[in-house]
């Protein structure tokens, strides 16, 4: 029998994916669950339902609550939190880089580092200037990787992955899939892991 | 020093208010927290942000996840769950009745009974035919109470309470207020109670 597994679907622009990314690795390892990192873009999914920005911008009361809620969550979990000045961030380049990281085995560390830069330090994560130092901090050849993500197969793969997310019923991030069972939100991480363990 | 207190803001049409209503009484009592039941209407708040129905209807993927999520939650907590055929239900009459229940001391039992009828048994809760038997099951004079809610002061009070909810930043239900600290969603009930206890 193969090890239980869980797919972690995330968008680098998503605030609640940050606390999930901060703890999913250790929690899955502890439970003996194989983790697959699946970066995708919420933008096209939001656009399909008529939203041209994050719901946290479109609905200001919801946005204010999100910030306060993550502040409380961060305090409980000993995380830092600072919303970047421009929100949501453009997550396209980070998502393409993550796909390469999936192929090359550094996606978990990269994902965590991007979320820390963005939501612990409030950094812009939209371009090479921001993402280069993150790659270098992981001892990677950033020049080579930036060239790699310009190739069509990576661009296409991200589009396909986003289409797959939408087809599988994903409407927000973070989302967790165990087979076809969908769990939405950092609040459901424990439940999703328990579901995966049960097999 | 007065006892710590928490305001429980709910709309009878709200699905996630059902599991919250099922456990908030015992949890608050255990923690020594005074509970104030604050019925309001989400409709006008949704309308103000451009929604003419529940977001679970407007965004079908979100709606499907809500049903599945509450099924899993209900299984974990040993609750029954059945979405009523018409969703969302018209909660106006139930909310007016609850205001009378607040004055007369039966709001907690009434609130719980309405949610059980609606979301454990999938009943319509929009009119006298549905709500009369609930009042009678609490040994109340339903005729007298139905006459009472036709008076202008009850109608006005519900409008004011809904306006207050909106003014205080409430955008969904259930919501919990401890002073000005707002917690949204059944998932935040424990956190809200802990906040109230801390004083």
Buried b (16+ CB within 10 A) or exposed e, B159-197: eebbeebbeebbbbbbbbbbeeebbbbbbbbebbbebbe
Among B47, B51, B60, B65, most A C-beta atoms within 10 A, so best to mutate, is B65
Name every chain B residue with its beta carbon within 8 A of the beta carbon of A68.
181-182
Counting beta carbons within 10 angstroms of the beta carbon of residue A124, is it exposed (0 to 12), middle (13 to 18) or buried (19 or more)?
Answer: middle
- pLDDT of A171 over the 90 cut: yes
Residue in A65, A169, A187 closest to B61 by CB: A169
Counting beta carbons within 10 angstroms of the beta carbon of residue B120, is it exposed (0 to 12), middle (13 to 18) or buried (19 or more)?
Answer: middle
Radius of gyration of chain B (CA): 16
A26/chain B closest Cα distance in angstroms? 23
pLDDT > 70 in chain A, percent: 99
Residue in A68, A72, A171 closest to B62 by CB: A171
Residue in A65, A170, A188 closest to B184 by CB: A65
CB spacing of A61 vs B191 below 8 angstroms: no
- pLDDT of A157 over the 90 cut: yes
Which H helix or E strand runs over B178?
A: strand B175-178
Which residue in this structure is represented by tokens 């965590």? A112
Please tell me whether residue B37 adopts helix, strand or coil conformation: strand
**Segments of chain B with pLDDT less than 50:** none
CB spacing of A62 vs B187 below 8 angstroms: no
Q: How confident is the model at residue A190 (pLDDT cuts 50, 70, 90)?
A: very high
Q: What is the DSSP letter of B3?
A: P
The DSSP result for A49-77, as a single string, is TT-SS-HHHHSHHHHHHHHHHHHHHHHHH
- The average pLDDT across A9-19 equals 98
Counting beta carbons within 10 angstroms of the beta carbon of residue B130, is it exposed (0 to 12), middle (13 to 18) or buried (19 or more)?
Answer: middle
CB spacing of A65 vs B182 below 8 angstroms: yes
Q: Tell me what the pLDDT averaged over chain B comes to.
A: 96
CB spacing of A182 vs B59 below 8 angstroms: no
CB spacing of B169 vs A72 below 8 angstroms: no
Query: A9: Cβ–Cβ under 8 A, 6 or more apart, which residues?
Result: A38, A40, A165, A170, A173, A174, A175, A176, A177
pLDDT digits (tens, 9 = 90+) for A43-85: 999 999 889 999 999 999 999 999 999 999 999 999 999 999 9
CB spacing of B65 vs A182 below 8 angstroms: yes
At residue A169, φ and ψ (nearest 5 deg) are 95, 10
Residue in A68, A171, A191 closest to B65 by CB: A171
- The average pLDDT across A18-28 equals 98
pTM recorded for the entire structure: 0.95
pLDDT > 90 in chain A, percent: 96
The conformational region for residue B139 under phi > 0 = left, psi -120 to 50 = alpha, else beta, is: left
Q: How far apart are CA B163 and CA A44, in angstroms?
A: 35
The answer to whether the beta carbons of residues B196 and B30 sit under 8 Å apart is: no
Name every chain A residue with its beta carbon within 8 A of the beta carbon of B58.
49
């Amino acid at each position: 029998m193969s090890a239980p597994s869980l797919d972690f679907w995330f968008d680098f622009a998503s605030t609640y994916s940050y606390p999930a990314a901060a703890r999913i690795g250790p929690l899955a390892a502890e439970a003996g669950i194989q983790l697959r990192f699946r970066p995708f873009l919420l933008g096209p999914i939001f656009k399909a339902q008529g939203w041209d920005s994050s719901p946290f911008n479109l609905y200001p009361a919801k946005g204010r609550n999100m910030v306060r809620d993550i502040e409380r969550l961060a305090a409980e979990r000993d995380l830092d939190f600072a919303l970047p000045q421009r929100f949501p961030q453009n997550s396209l380049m980070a998502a393409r880089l993550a796909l390469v990281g999936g192929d090359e085995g550094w996606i978990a560390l990269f994902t965590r580092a991007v979320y820390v830069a963005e939501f612990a330090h409030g950094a812009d994560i939209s371009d090479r200037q921001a993402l280069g130092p993150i790659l270098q901090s992981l001892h990677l050849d950033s020049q080579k990787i930036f060239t790699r993500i310009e190739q069509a197969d990576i661009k296409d793969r991200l589009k396909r992955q986003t289409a797959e997310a939408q087809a599988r019923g994903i409407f927000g991030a973070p989302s967790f899939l165990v087979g076809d069972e969908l769990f939405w939100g950092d609040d459901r991480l424990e439940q999703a892991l328990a579901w995966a363990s049960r097999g």
